[in-house]
Chain A
Amino acid sequence: MNTLGAVPAKPTEDSPSQPSPFLEVRGLRKAFSGREVLHGIDLEVGPDELLVVLGPTGAGKTTLLRLLAGLDEADGGAIVMAGSDVTSMAPARRDVSLVFQNFSLYPGWTVRRNMEFPLRAPGRAMSEAAIAERIAWAARLLRIEPLLERPAQRLSGGQMQRVAIGRAIVRRPRLFLMDEPLTNLDAKLREALRVELVVLRRELRTPMVYVTHDQAEALSMADRIVVIDGGRVLQTGTPEAIYRHPASPTVARQLGQPAINLLRATLRDGNWCAADGTPLMTAGAVGNAAATPMGDVSGGAVIGVRPEDLSLTGGAHPGSVRLVEDLGPTRLAVIQWAGGEQRAVLDKSSTVAVGDQVLPSIAPDRAMLWAADA
């Protein structure tokens, strides 16, 4: 894995840290041909914060980012940056940098020329010496110094994306906007670059909005996550808060891989029972009770158990092992139990095999519970 070395001093002065958010989005709406795709988005980004916007395909993530960049105009609501309303401001005046999923470099140009491009924009009267210094600084940060004189078309995918990030940082913008910048890269490279991006952003102390559908990127990179779906914010919080206390089964399914086990349950004689009658756990305090009011559970409930929290011992009703996968540090078992397929992440040393009978059990303090109509 490549490592970022010591970070060179910034060529310009540090921006003073502010207690108030850098970016505030209030009730943002957008429709295309009469169909509304964003139904009033609210979010805030602190002056030194990485906010991940997580959602499935079609959730409205890219639309949101384009509104922030000024590439599309909002139909309602406000975008405020550093205290001033930029909702109708031209993209260039917002002083933000956008990095796309597709490496948008000029193929025939050298890396250096690609990176210099934003600094040579009309109205930016930078001296040649200052430009050279800025490029050298960014190249050092991203470890692409040996590539500077190479044409962009001769770069690998990972190198191209570094150059695209380099081009975004040379301007020293007020805000970074990233639209799935790692999606088109190999899994291995993605894993390395996500660490480097976080470290780089922390060194630059520039706020960032990072859009992705990849839950591992969201959990590992975010200071806070905004989960959106269908053009609405479903939940906002730290990765840990959302992972442990998801507001709804929908949010719970968006984080964690393998996905959380969700079981429909009804209360019988003080026990939560699955649809097929299997007792799941005793009624009482559950893991997410503090964060989520249980609501009216007379119509039944949905119980959520993360695969790492489903024990294969201690229960009274047997399940059978349908599939076991070796994932390296852990093993994944698919269990037919309580009327459906449940997933359990097991220790590497586990000897569970296909066809085994097991006795799954759910510890209430590791479980989540929502009213069925939630």
Chain B
Amino acid sequence: MSFLTLSHLEKTYPDGTKAVHALDLLVAEGEFIVLLGPSGCGKTTTLRMIAGLEIPTAGSISIAGADVTNLRPSERDVGFVFQFYALYPHLSVRDNIAFPLAATGMAKKDRTLAVDEVARRLGIERLLASFPRQLSGGDQQRVSLGRAMVRRPRLWLMDEPLGTLDADQRLAMREFIREQQRALGVTTIYVTHDQEEAMSLADRVVVMEGGRIRQAGAPAAVYDDPASLFVAEFVGSPGMNFIPGEIDADGAFHPRGAGGAARGSERRTADGGAITLGRHLRAGPATLGVRPEFVRPRATGAGIQGRVLMEEYLGSTRIVHLDCAFGRIAMRAGADRAAIAGETLSVGFDPEHARVFDHTSGERL
């Protein structure tokens, strides 16, 4: 039984813009859902409708079996988690964090325990007796996040709560959010455009585009088996590589511009460009997708030829961007070997890791 149900949820603005199209989503109790997508995909509008800050133009929302579509935000018992709340300057860190618990009727002993737990997870135990003005900016942000997540509402709604934090701080906060959510078991809807944040936090990632859900699934499932070109490109950093080409009558894939299928079989075998797919697909144009980590250098002459456009050094890995006849390919390489801009490389991949998409609709085949 789902805890939060969105059925045929729609939002059309007075000017006719449709921000959300007939959206259906079932969320289990305690589940951590991340709505992921680019600006304008409808993720924030969806969150605001769940909160009651926007009224849907069609469809319904229910929480724990009760229809809340027309309830005021305050009647829904949802907790909003923003990036930063001002702290009460005259209250200690402990009293700041405990503040939302005062109205809950929780016993004093339990309140103390809840605050201790939050402080431990945030690594700020030693600051509990301090006052906000004595804290660094980063510690103030920790405290404010702790206060936002100390109480146990029916739902937590988070709209890019890590917004503009420095990288260090972001990661620590991300881990706190995940741990606190696990511990308290509060059903959570989290909105972000950052795919790494989505992957690391979610039980289920819901990828949105143009007001519609494009795919919903466990992070690994969305990453490994994207339902469309859009999802394949949006999830992953960099996104999946795409190779346009043609599937021949024998079910082999021929990249465009590498001596394609149309040019005759003798050419095909000579250039080694054909890729044998694991299963038989209908002949015709198609797009092959492969993640950068599966692209590997090959002996010269075999595989796909590309000129090194640039290399992005990222510390633990390097991303090599290649210009190929059909477009660009990104290869995730080890940290130790550098590629030189302008040099020509031959690359290939195990066909087992290839995903095939319809070349016009972009849907997975």
Contacts and interface: CB of A to CB of B under 8 A. Distances in A.
A323 B193 contact: no
B321 interface: yes
A219 to B, nearest CB: 5
Nearest to A222: B313
A157 B39 contact: yes
Contacts of A195: 309-310, 312, 321
- The main secondary structure of chain B at its interface with chain A is mixed
Given A56-B166, A326-B199, A328-B236, A3 B315 contact: no
Contacts of A308: 315-316, 335
Interface in B287-316: 291-293, 309-310, 312-316
Interface string B188-221: 0000011110011100000000000000000110
Interface in A238-260: 239-240, 243, 253, 255-259
Contact of B315 (A191, A202, A255): A255
B185 interface: no
Contacts of B267: none
Interface string A303-345: 0001110000000000000110111110010100000000001
Contacts of B166: 56-57, 213
A188 interface: yes
Contacts of B292: 329
A199 interface: yes
B175 A334 contact: yes
Contact of B341 (A191, A202, A307, A323): A202
Contacts of B335: 308
Contact of A3 (B234, B327, B341): B327
A323 B180 CA distance: 12
Contacts of A345: 316
B54 interface: no
A156 B316 contact: no
A285 interface: no
Contact of B238 (A3, A191, A348): A191
Contacts of B293: 329, 348
A290 interface: no
Nearest to B242: A1
A186 B319 contact: no
Nearest to B332: A329
Nearest to B171: A258
A317 B30 CA distance: 34
Q: How large is the interface on B (under 10, 10 to 19, 20 to 34, 35 or more residues)?
A: 35 or more
B343 to A, nearest CB: 15
A129 interface: no
Contacts of B132: none
Contacts of B323: 3
B178 interface: yes
B234 A306 contact: no
A186 B238 CA distance: 13
A7 B321 CA distance: 17
B358 to A, nearest CB: 20
A1 B239 contact: yes
B39 A156 contact: yes
B41 to A, nearest CB: 10
A328 B223 contact: yes
Interface residues of A, number: 47
Interface in A210-256: 213-216, 219-221, 239-240, 243, 253, 255-256
Given A186-B38, A191-B238, A329 B291 contact: yes
A257 B200 contact: no
Given A1-B328, A329-B332, A334-B175, A186 B239 contact: no
A256 B315 contact: yes
Nearest to B233: A1
Given A187-B195, A191-B237, A259-B171, A198 B310 contact: yes
B110 interface: no
Interface string A55-68: 01100000000000
Nearest to B327: A3
Nearest to B200: A325
Contacts of A239: 313, 315
A323 B332 contact: no
A345 B200 CA distance: 13
Nearest to B241: A1
B333 to A, nearest CB: 12
Nearest to B237: A191
A157 B39 CA distance: 9
Q: Which of B166, B178, B332 has the most CB of A within 10 A?
A: B166
B238 A328 contact: no
Nearest to A184: B164
A183 B194 CA distance: 13
B116 interface: no
Contact of A253 (B168, B235, B332): B168
The 7 A-B pairs with the shortest beta carbon distances in the complex, nearest first, are A220-B312, A325-B200, A308-B316, A329-B293, A187-B194, A186-B193, A243-B315
13 contacts: A189-B38, A195-B312, A195-B321, A259-B167, A306-B316, A323-B178, A325-B200, A327-B199, A328-B196, A328-B235, A328-B237, A329-B293, A329-B332
Given A187-B196, A220-B313, 7 more contacts: A188-B38, A188-B195, A239-B313, A306-B316, A326-B200, A326-B219, A332-B200
